[in-house]
Structure 1
Amino acid sequence: MNILFLSRDYPPLQIGGVGTYVYEITRLLAKMGNQVYVITGAFDGPLEYIDEGVHVVRVQAAQWRFFDELPIRLQGITERVAYSISVSQKIKQLVRRHKIDIIESCEARAEGFWFYLFHRNPPLVIKLHTPESIVFTLDRVPQSLDFKCIKALEEWWILRARKLIGLSHNIIDLTCRYFKISLRNVPVIENPLDIDFFCPDPSVHPVRYRILFAGRLEFRKGVHVLIRAIPLVLKRIPEATFIFVGSDCGVKDYLLNKTKELGIEHAVTFLDQVPRGQIPGYYHRCEVSVVPSIWENHPYAVLEAMACGKPVIASNIGGIPEIIQDGVNGVLVPAGSPVSLASAIEKVLLDAGLKEKLGRNARHYIVRQYDPQYVTLKNLAIYEETLSRRKPYSQR
């Protein structure tokens, strides 16, 4: 099968779960003998190349004088349209040259909408990760004209799909409620995870009382909640240390000022986003990994830590309860509560038996549920089913 993925988020420009998913699934599909292509954003490097069997094509947003004349308040939607025009041109080339059977994209940014304004095929599969307009709402971005245009564009894109896949039951329900649409028969397929890359390493001894946060520094990820929980943990476990690993999304200065205000600088370290090959090492050297998000869909930070055999303490929101069974393979806490988060961290750190049980069960769960070949075969089955469908969701 010839499969094309659209994802502006892709290594080495990867900043989130969508890029990680596309990176993983494309390699798995290629190893199974499929011809796999990715259209992604350009950076300082070759525009077309083959990476582990995956054909990568990089594009820049179209440069039209018309776009420069539009009001600044429409900058967001203008940039998305400009990028989609470039993507559309590449889609047409790849479809003509390589007879693409199916195209998969996420719902955020509607990257291929310009192409599908004028074409019905190849069939479009959209995997619901998290619509960008929902993220804006959660981050309390003002609902400007630009915001409303982006929301309308994403709704059109979702309804244009021949087939939808949900990353969690929660995101399917949230998408329906947010856009006030009805979506029927949407299957849930987990993201694949390299369980041989993210795995326990008995040769590495974790640093005692080290707590890891791995993810972007933004309020939606609950970093401010964790910062406020740290003084509470230090009262009972003065030796505890906290490592934040991830790119700054505009809140690092706030967090640094907060650590000074709370007098916890000695216990906190901030590191920028690290290369993929180094990520498991940070899990291996911690005793507990925390995901204190205000909202999440199905975060890789949870899956990766669990795969490495680490107990995860995470917020009881979004799709996380579909991964973690509280007290069995992890710990769930109310979102936004520093007191509950601190209490859970203390409980796991000070109970060696609980810590060992949670980590062991976490690894077993991930190996069983997120086996890469198993997940990839489910994706292929969806593609086969989609090729037999004729109508997008908007016409059913």
Structure 2
Amino acid sequence: MLNDTYDVINIHGYGDYAADITCLLKKLRLLGDTALILTIHGLYGLKSGYLASDFSVPFPSMRQRIRSFFHHFLYDYTLGKLETNTFDKVIIQSEDDRRYLSKNGLKEDRIVKIPIAINEIFFKHTSTVPRSDRYYILYAGRIDPFKGLDVLAKAIKELKSIGISLKCIIAGKDCGYGSQLRFLLNKLDIVDQVEVRDYISQENLLELYSHAVVTVLPSLSEGFSLALVESIATGTPFIATPVGANPELVALTNAGILVPVGEPKILAETILHVIKDEQLWSNMSTNGQKSVSNFSYEKVVEKHYQVYSELTK
């Protein structure tokens, strides 16, 4: 980096070593007039610090609450704050990110909101599987404590208790929560209904979305969920919590419904409502596919180009 001259350096990830090192090099005046951009893919560290200090919010465990709380003060108010204020522009994916960064002292004129683009394979998916051929609930994403998978499991149990035995597929990389999740599924006696899958290729993921009746994302904290956009690209409506960019996606696409964080009974009722109301399902399915062009590579690249052009005038 020091041996070459660049017009722009774009670093990805709040709290990553690359961002910290770039910040320090800039402060040491070793990067000259190079414009710096930080692209943030979710403020999990910063957000979890605020969540940990708010005892009205459900949290995975007291140990994680304490760790996140101290991380928040030790990093976010020192190097994290210095990092975000050193970059010329900070690209975010949601108004939620904007709010947390503003709390941490970042000026509004440094913030630019640009969504993430989804894989082109989802735009080649032109046909929609009819509602009658969809037979399971889908969660697609990391298997970790912040994704609210315990709430989803309890919602499946709620449905089972009233005689609704819907299959559920949880697909994604295990980030340290898989064993706890499987223990909970056993405890709730829903192992026969919930299938946990590891890594899924893009082609197989497309197939999973296409045959799901609804995608569920009951997260405690979120950035910009690619899973929800991928879901609506296949005509599958979603149910999500009002965190991260989820409220904005609901408003923009009219393809999803928001439910409170940590409320399995309400989640179960909403799942039942979506799958039983065929007109509602059809409307959300159609709305989602009409709006998905907002997340194409072409549109997202154009917005990035505008930021680069502004900084290199």
* Shared fold (TM-score, shorter chain, > 0.5): yes
The CA deviation string for residues 280-300 of structure 1, in whole angstroms up to 9 with x for no partner, is 111012111111111212111
User: Is residue 291 of structure 2 the alignment partner of residue 365 of structure 1?
Assistant: yes
The CA deviation string for residues 358-386 of structure 1, in whole angstroms up to 9 with x for no partner, is 1110111112x223212211110100111
Structure 1 residue 186: Cα displacement: 2.1
- Relative distance call for 1:199 and 1:220 in structure 2 (3 A) is farther
What is the DSSP-based 3-state SS (H/G/I as helix, E as strand, rest coil) of the residue aligned with 2:251?
A: coil
CA contact (8 A) 1:292 1:335 kept: yes
CA contact (8 A) 2:95 2:245 kept: yes
* TM-score, structure 1 normalization: 0.67
Distance 1:261 1:199 in 2: 41
Distance 2:302 2:184 in 1: 47
Structure 1 counterpart of 2:119: 194
Structure 2 counterpart of 1:24: none
* Residue of structure 2 aligned with 1:113, choices 9, 16, 20: 20
CA contact (8 A) 2:19 2:38 kept: no
Structure 1 residue 100: Cα displacement: 3.0
User: Is residue 228 of structure 2 the alignment partner of residue 317 of structure 1?
Assistant: no
- Relative distance call for 1:262 and 1:144 in structure 2 (3 A) is closer
The CA deviation string for residues 310-334 of structure 1, in whole angstroms up to 9 with x for no partner, is 1111112222111113993211111
Structure 1 counterpart of 2:299: 374
* Residue of structure 2 aligned with 1:228, choices 123, 131, 154: 154
CA contact (8 A) 1:292 1:314 kept: yes
CA contact (8 A) 2:89 2:112 kept: no
The CA deviation string for residues 81-123 of structure 1, in whole angstroms up to 9 with x for no partner, is xxxxxxxxxx235xx2xx4321112323241432442323421
CA contact (8 A) 1:243 1:268 kept: yes
Structure 1 residue 201: Cα displacement: 5.5
Structure 2 counterpart of 1:263: 189
Structure 1 counterpart of 2:7: 101
The CA deviation string for residues 224-244 of structure 1, in whole angstroms up to 9 with x for no partner, is 110111111224453410000
* Residue of structure 2 aligned with 1:354, choices 271, 280, 285: 280
Structure 1 residue 195: Cα displacement: 4.9
CA contact (8 A) 2:84 2:106 kept: no
Alignment of 1:236-385 (within 5 A): 236=162, 238-325=164-251, 328-367=254-293, 369-385=294-310
* Residue of structure 2 aligned with 1:171, choices 77, 97, 100: 97
Distance 1:174 1:347 in 2: 33
Structure 1 residue 147: Cα displacement: 6.2
What is the DSSP-based 3-state SS (H/G/I as helix, E as strand, rest coil) of the residue aligned with 1:334?
A: coil
Structure 1 residue 189: Cα displacement: 1.3
Distance 2:275 2:81 in 1: 44
The CA deviation string for residues 192-221 of structure 1, in whole angstroms up to 9 with x for no partner, is 223553564638567543000001111211
User: Is residue 120 of structure 2 the alignment partner of residue 213 of structure 1?
Assistant: no
Structure 2 unaligned segments of length 5 or more: list them.
52-63
Structure 1 unaligned segments of length 5 or more: list them.
1-90, 389-396
CA RMSD of aligned residues (A): 2.5
Aligned residues: 292
Structure 2 counterpart of 1:391: none
The CA deviation string for residues 127-169 of structure 1, in whole angstroms up to 9 with x for no partner, is 2333353255245252687765433222211111011222112
What is the DSSP-based 3-state SS (H/G/I as helix, E as strand, rest coil) of the residue aligned with 1:324?
A: helix
Distance 2:252 2:37 in 1: 33
CA contact (8 A) 1:199 1:309 kept: no
Q: Which amino acid aligns with 2:87?
A: A
What is the DSSP-based 3-state SS (H/G/I as helix, E as strand, rest coil) of the residue aligned with 2:199?
A: coil
Q: Which amino acid aligns with 1:120?
A: L
